[in-house]
Amino acid sequence: MPLRTAVRYLSAPIRDILRPSTTTSNRGCAAIAEARSVLEHELETIRTGGTWKGERVITSKQGPHINVDGSRGDILNFCANNYLGLSSHPQVVEAGIEALKKYGAGLSSVRFICGTQDIHKDLEQKLAQFHEREDCILYASCFDANAGLFEVLLGPDDAVLSDELNHASIIDGIRLCRAKRFRYKHMDLNDLETQLKESQSSRLRLVVTDGVFSMDGDMAPLKGICDLAEQYGAMVFIDECHATGFMGPRGRGTDELLGVMDRVHIVNSTLGKALGGAAGGYTVGPKPLIDLLRQRSRPYLFSNSLPPPVVGCATRAVELLLTSNEIAQSVGDKTMRFRNKMTDAGFTISGSDHPICPVMLGDARLASLMADDMLKLGVYVIGFSYPVVPKGKARIRVQISAAHTDQDIDRAVDAFIQTGRKHGVVS
């Protein structure tokens, strides 16, 4: 047999083995088609339910006045977490530029390999000082900080007692730990005490709550929580993402506002809202806890270090707050101006004394339509509906910033009145 013929003869079975069979290929196509059908059905359910979340495109820097793709002229922004107006503050921006020039765009590493620069340690020290805690550890986000804490701190012999309306990141973080889980009714101290009694056999117990609940702008009853925790030998954790920088006389948060800074043991918060608005989160608390998190917290160990420009911006923001409380104090007066004018106009505003001002509407479609009409009037707000908030609790969440002027606030209220009358919300 000629050599060429023999090679063809021997290689034919190999080609048949390597070539995907028609049956296998058809099964793969069928699986993809089935998945596509399931996904499209789910998407259509969201659209018809009026809970579709579109993404408007901003073509300017973040601030009280922005440019929005598809809209003409100056748009007032009333839905950013930019509580202190520091996202585009000249000193904050310049600090980020200087860090970029000196330290580069990123570390290409996790912290424990070659991803820790002196600026990371400096920011951690300043955050610990700001919160008056022993130590601090940085994360890529506060979602990561919440994901990385409970699994390390609590084991199967421990218990965690969580407010039923805690943020999704807290809920997900608790799911990762092996502790016994107890959920108490929202801000209900009587129910919390019941759960504390039921969990008394546990080694460690941790009461977990948001300091400020982001959808309603209501504050946890921290004094009562701390009283109960001390009575039953539990620790207290708070998530301060919507309080750090502007709540309390010096902007330290709800624990300062309510006089329990020395009674709250662990605080998680973010750099992505009031403290410059870029990215990043952190945990502050006892040094042994922070040391253990550096050794075992998975989001910390397996995520790249915060980029130097982000660290530079956040550091400057914290330095501004350590120097003066003037910016933090200005938010309160503007918040009350908006709340009072909206209440006088006939709107129902949830929460109290917090720059999160939810305009309660109930119906998801109504919230979405009113937000669209507000944009046509030059005011950027967003409707929130299920699953972000409970069904029947749709609202437009307004957020006040220190960068807003009284004229900005009055213009937003006028737009709400005009839109509310159009949709029969107010008369």
Q: What is the pLDDT of residues 61-115, one digit of tens each?
A: 999 999 999 888 899 999 999 999 999 999 999 999 999 999 999 999 999 999 9
> 0.85 cut: is pTM over it?
yes
CA 62 to chain CA centroid, Å, is 17
pLDDT digits (tens, 9 = 90+) for 355-413: 999 999 999 999 999 999 999 999 999 999 888 888 899 999 999 999 999 999 999 99
Task: Indicate whether 423 pLDDT > 80.
Answer: yes
Run of H or E including 416: helix 406-422
pLDDT digits (tens, 9 = 90+) for 320-344: 999 998 888 889 999 999 999 999 9
Measured over the CA atoms of residue 109, residue 110, residue 114 and residue 120, the dihedral's sign is positive
| Domain edges within the chain | 52-81+324-421, 88-321
Q: Which two tokens stand for residue 406?
A: 């009284």
Active site residue 186: no
Run of H or E including 400: none
Of all residues in the chain, the percent with pLDDT exceeding 90 is 84
**CATH class of the structural domain 88-321:** alpha beta
pLDDT score at 235? 98
pLDDT score at 176? 97
Active site residue 214: yes
Q: Which of 162, 199, 214, 305 is catalytic?
A: 214
In angstroms, the Cα distances linking 380 to 20, 303, 396, 412 are 53, 34, 11, 9
In angstroms, the Cα distances linking 279 to 36, 95, 96, 276, 283 are 33, 15, 12, 8, 14
Task: Indicate whether 229 pLDDT > 60.
Answer: yes
In angstroms, the Cα distances linking 96 to 61, 89, 91, 244 are 14, 11, 9, 20
Does the domain at 52-81+324-421 match CATH 3.20.20.150? Answer given as no
Compute the distance between CA of residue 197 and CA of residue 311 in angstroms, rounded to an integer: 43
Task: Indicate whether 3 pLDDT > 60.
Answer: no
Run of H or E including 106: none
Least-confidence region, from 19-28, 52-61, 74-83, 180-189 = 19-28
Query: What residues contact residue 210 under an 8 Å CB cut-off, 6+ apart?
Result: 163, 165, 166, 167, 170, 220, 238, 239, 241, 242
pLDDT digits (tens, 9 = 90+) for 115-132: 999 999 999 999 999 999
Least-confidence region, from 96-100, 118-122, 144-148, 216-220 = 216-220
Averaged pLDDT for residues 244-261: 97
Q: What is the DSSP string of 204-264?
A: SEEEEEESEETTTTEEP-HHHHHHHHHHHT-EEEEE-TTTTTTSSTTS--HHHHTT-TTT-
Q: Which of 126, 273, 334, 354 is catalytic?
A: 273
Question: Minimal CA–CA distance to 371: which of 362, 360, 359, 380?
Answer: 380
Active site residue 287: no
Task: Indicate whether 7 pLDDT > 50.
Answer: no
Compute the distance between CA of residue 189 and CA of residue 116 in angstroms, rounded to an integer: 42
Q: Which of 89, 167, 242, 341 is catalytic?
A: 242
Compute the distance between CA of residue 120 and CA of residue 138 in angstroms, rounded to an integer: 8
